[in-house]
Amino acid sequence: MLEIREGRRVPKVTFKTRAEHEWVDLDSDDIFAGKTVVVFSLPGAFTPTCSSSHVPRFDQLAKEFTANGVDEIACISVNDAFVMNEWKESQNVRNITFLPDGNGAFTDGMGLLVEKNDLGFGRRSWRYSMLVRDGVIDKMFVEPQEAGDPYGVSDADTMLEYLAPAAVKPLDVTVFSRGGCGYCAKAKALLREAGIDFEALELNKDYTDRTLRAVANATSLPQVFINGENVGGADDLEAWLSAVHEEEVKTAA
């Protein structure tokens, strides 16, 4: 049975990390003492679900976690420091501390070290997340003990909803753009002025005109997508932001 350790202290271990080409030992107190920490642990660096969903969403929601009292977000995996550092770099995240549990000591202490021999992984962590306050586990979300690699309760959204049910989540915004495009620059500036984070995809670098036609049924740029909706170009975005502002004013009145 997988353990639920709510109300208990995290295991006392030493994490063997690397910084600036030097070994740096961090013990559990360095990570947890006197702080509120969100931890999520997963089967392995560079693996599909971990790289495409688990890590990116925690990174995206980092500001919301910080605004609701979280001091640090930590990702733990039974991998060595070199692998974890390379994975963090490849993920292009800056809001998450990657902790290598190479010997599985922390994960074993959590009662969540499992056999993944069928995949050639050896012993790895079961997927879970937890909220830790001053070294004591406040809440755990452990994936059900099912075949494969279930992923449904240890995600960032579930943790944020537990921590702050009324928290407003950021918009998911992508701008299809191209270099030297004045309207593209305008759209990006409008989003920055509104304090909205966005992903910019550049023509012939991140996508082709075929992609644009397939996704947006359009050839003009920019094309701005917000939460799955094609808002349109820069002028359309300006009108959309104006309408949102008006609605916020009415709601506040």
* Model pLDDT for residues 76-100, shown as the tens digit of each residue: 999 999 999 999 999 999 999 999 9
- For 33, residues 6+ apart whose C-beta sits below 8 A from its C-beta are 134, 135
Tell me what the pLDDT averaged over the chain comes to.
96
DSSP 9: B
Q: Say what the pLDDT of residue 131 is.
A: 98
DSSP 119: G
Token pair recorded at residue 113 = 């070290």
- For 198, residues 6+ apart whose C-beta sits below 8 A from its C-beta are 173, 174, 175, 188, 191
To the nearest whole percent, how much of the chain has pLDDT over 90?
Answer: 92
**50 included as an active-site residue:** yes
- For 232, residues 6+ apart whose C-beta sits below 8 A from its C-beta are 223, 224, 240
Query: Can you say how many angstroms the Cα of residue 143 is from the centroid of all Cα atoms in its chain?
Result: 17
What is the distance between the alpha carbons of residues 13 and 23, in angstroms, rounded to a whole number? 16
CATH fold, domain 14-163, is Glutaredoxin (3.40.30)
Q: Say what the pLDDT of residue 253 is.
A: 64
Q: Say what the pLDDT of residue 249 is.
A: 63
Q: Is pLDDT of 193 > 80? A: yes
Reference 175, options 154, 194, 152; nearest CA is: 194
Catalytic residue among 50, 75, 181, 184: 50
Q: Is pLDDT of 42 > 80? A: yes
Reference 175, options 146, 196, 150; nearest CA is: 196
Reference 7, options 158, 153, 132, 164; nearest CA is: 132
CATH 3.40.30.10 occupies which residues in the chain? 14-163, 173-252
To the nearest whole percent, how much of the chain has pLDDT over 70?
Answer: 98
Overall pTM > 0.75:
yes
Q: What is the pLDDT of residues 14-35, one digit of tens each?
A: 999 999 999 999 999 999 999 9
Q: Say what the pLDDT of residue 245 is.
A: 83
Q: Is pLDDT of 250 > 80? A: no
Q: Is pLDDT of 248 > 90? A: no
Across the range 101-129, mean pLDDT stands at 96
**Which of 3.40.50.360, 3.40.50.2300, 3.40.30.10, 3.40.1350.10 would CATH assign to domain 173-252?**
3.40.30.10
* Helices 182-193 & 234-252 angle (0-180, nearest 10): 20
Tell me, what amino acid is at 176? F
Q: Say what the pLDDT of residue 139 is.
A: 98
Task: Starting at the earlier edge strand, list the strands of the sheet with 36-42.
Answer: 97-100, 72-77, 36-42, 128-133, 136-142
- For residue 204, CA distances in Å to 34, 102, 173, 179 come to 48, 40, 20, 10
